Amino acid sequence: MSSSVFYVLSDSVGETAELLAKAALSQFKDQNMKIQRIPYVDDEATMVDAFHLAHENNGMMAYTLVKPEFRVKMRELEQEFGIVAIDLMGPLLEQLENHLDEQPTLQPGLVHKLDEDYYKRVEAIEFAVKYDDGRDAKGILKADLILIGVSRTSKTPLSQFLAHKKLKVANVPIVPEVEPPEELFQVSPEKCIGLNINHEKLNHIRTERLKALGLDGSANYAKEDRIKKEIEYFNKVVEKIGCDTIDVSNKAVEETANVILRKIKR
């Protein structure tokens, strides 16, 4: 068989059509057909040019076009040029529309937008892990948001929850014996949020935590005097930074996250 070209047209990058074309061609042992992608088709002139190319190169075509008027034009050109042009998207969209009883958005490239969102989420999760618990102060300067608070104020789970919302979050523990990193005072106060907590609630949380670890619940870590000292120091740091605080005493992680997301939107 003489060589020919399989043209794949798309109103986005054209990966879907190309993959399907490759999968189909792989089923034929003796074929000498090249695949040429024509992406970002957004006018009828591009379609006409593609049919001229197919005519000159003994070609056939397949396309993934979401706009109905573009698919109608392709069918008209298929009849005019006498060249096979396979609609890979239209029939599936129509069947889904009937099954779901919902109009499609007809917006090109949404699958790649979903992919982009996925990778941003993964990147944010990796960021939260890398810069958890003040491990590397450099993360403070790179973060979308910095959470500060004393131990057991849900900084880590909150960072992870917000990472799933594609926010790069660093968190920094506030301990009286340790100077907060200088980077904390170099970023905009609007990027920082202090997690405040009632000392009695924190006493209960820490006591239960120690017991869960098989340790004495009366250790200094859970003593009220120690907790009050930590909270007092935390308040001084917050005042120096000039950032907002959220009382997490009786809030689940999801509730605190929603408060933060509303603040960011404002």
Q: Is there a contact between 137 and 148 (Cβ–Cβ < 8 Å)? A: no
Final residue belonging to a domain, choices 51, 75, 108: 108
Chain centroid, CA 142 distance in Å: 17
Q: Helix, strand, or coil here: 9?
A: strand
Crossing angle of helices 155-163/253-265, nearest 10°? Answer: 60
| Burial (CB count within 10 angstroms: exposed 0-12, middle 13-18, buried 19+), residue 166 | middle
pLDDT in tens, 51-84: 999 999 999 999 999 999 999 999 999 999 999 9
Binding residues: 149-156
CATH code of the domain in which 75 resides: 3.40.50.2300
Same domain, 25 and 98: yes
Say if residues 145 and 261 touch (Cβ distance below 8 Å): no
Confidence of residue 108 (pLDDT cuts 50, 70, 90): confident
Mean pLDDT of 173-180: 96
Domain count, the chain: 2
> Which residues, at least 6 apart from 146, have a Cβ–Cβ distance to it below 8 Å?
140, 169, 170, 171, 172, 184, 187, 191, 192, 193
pLDDT, tens only, 87-106: 998 899 889 989 999 888 87
Predicted TM-score (pTM) of this structure: 0.62
CA distance 241 to 187: 9
Distances from the Cα of 113 to the Cα of 100, 107, 110, 212, angstroms: 22, 11, 5, 44
Binding residues for ADP: 149-156
> Do 101 and 153 have their domain in common?
no
Long-range pairs, 201-206, Cβ under 8 A, ≥24: 201/249, 201/250, 202/150, 202/152, 202/153, 202/227, 202/231, 202/249, 203/227, 205/152, 206/151, 206/152
Query: Greater confidence, 122 or 217?
Result: 122
Query: CATH no. for residue 150?
Result: 3.40.50
Q: Looking at the structure, tell me whether residues 195 and 249 fall in a common domain.
A: yes
190-215 pLDDT, tens per residue? 999 999 999 999 999 999 989 888 88
